[in-house]
Amino acid sequence: MPLPTLTWRAFPPVVLAANTTAAILDAIQANSSVATYADGTPRQPAGTPGSTSWTWSKEQSGGVTVAAYGSPPPVVLPDVTIPTSYIIAGASSLPPSGPTMLTTLATTPDSNAVNRLNIAMVKNPGAYIGGGVGWYAANPFTSGSFSGYVNLTQATTAVTFVTLRMWECQEAFICQLLTAGGAASYPFGGGALIDPLSTTATDDETDGRLYSIFSVGSGGAMSTTTLSNTGASQYGPFIGRTGANNSRFQTFTPGTAVTVPHTRFGVWSGLSSSLVSPNGDLPKIPFPLYATGTTTTFGTVLGAAGQLRQIYITRNSLAGTAWTNGATTVGYLLGANQTAAAEAMLLAY
């Protein structure tokens, strides 16, 4: 059956208390207690039908936050989804062992480094281990299929992160770290981001979805030409590569504990800032995806994977802004630069 339409909501931007992994994790977790979204609408409790409110908790070691882990709100019955959790973790010192980095297929594992954050996901999770040691356990949860970590960004000792932007919807979340003035963007997130456009068992999980994590990687900020350039130097969301510390977009293969890289299908250019619909709306161009093979760039096509859910290719825009048509909110712009219009995606409201 068709998957439910997701409605993306934006948190107020957060100025980080410090340029540290702990401060970033604290800011992500603290959004669990925010009462209203950036547009002033109330954030409904997780048990409310149609709620977009994720639940985030944090793990600390010696009073310092080392992980934030979250789960989406329950879906509206009779729809039933596979339980999933997502974890963002890292510290200013290396743990005595681990953590488990993603190694599926020919993906070269990212390096776990001090002052650098990682992201991972788990299907059918048990309880979180915690205790200051959970984040670097073989699986931070007592059971479930754990993807292993991939890098989120460059280390806080190499880049000064100033602002966190965060969006959530019923089944996915996206964060964006920005440098001073919003000149550089580092997006990451996870959830049931892909609509497989299929009900075949080989194409999607038993609940009709695909579960993914993505990050810009630790090689660089989101490129201003992330949609129009397929070169190996491009970094950005929804680009799945297999080289160490590259941009990641990893998706669980249906019914398994194995993840496979996914990436966009096609190259998009000419999306100038003057491109709008006749009534003044931003264009909402479906964002098609495919599963890739095992090369370090975009790989051999393994097959069509579907399209992103209520995330669209749109005109060149400023990152982090809300788009309204009159009094109606159309969505939020995920882009590379907050001060100069660049290639961007629209998260539909």
Q: Among 34-43, 57-66, 227-236, 330-339, where is mean pLDDT lowest?
A: 227-236
What is the distance between the alpha carbons of residues 235 and 217, in angstroms, rounded to a whole number? 7
Integer angstrom CA distances of residue 322 from 54, 140, 310, 318: 21, 36, 15, 9
pLDDT for residue 87: 98
Across 27-45, average pLDDT = 96
User: What beta strand segments (E) does the chain contain?
Assistant: 9-10, 14-15, 55-61, 64-71, 84-89, 118-123, 145-146, 150-151, 163-168, 172-178, 185-195, 210-215, 248-252, 259-264, 285-292, 301-313, 322-325, 328-335, 344-348
pLDDT for residue 163: 97
By the 8 A CB rule, do 346 and 308 touch? Answer: no
Structure tokens at 98: 């681990």
Across 274-302, average pLDDT = 75
Determine how many CB atoms are found less than 10 A away from the CB of residue 174: 24
The secondary structure of residue 347, as a DSSP letter, is: E
Confidence (pTM): 0.95
pLDDT of residue 245 exceeding 90: no
pLDDT tens-digit map of 155-186: 999 999 999 999 999 999 999 999 998 899 99
Placement of tokens 């959530």 in the chain:
168
pLDDT for residue 251: 93
pLDDT of residue 296 exceeding 50: no
pLDDT of residue 295 exceeding 60: no
By the 8 A CB rule, do 14 and 25 touch? Answer: no
pLDDT of residue 119 exceeding 70: yes
More confident residue, 298 or 223: 223
Please work out, in degrees rounded to the nearest 5, the angle formed at the alpha carbon of residue 224 by the alpha carbons of 221 and 227.
Answer: 110
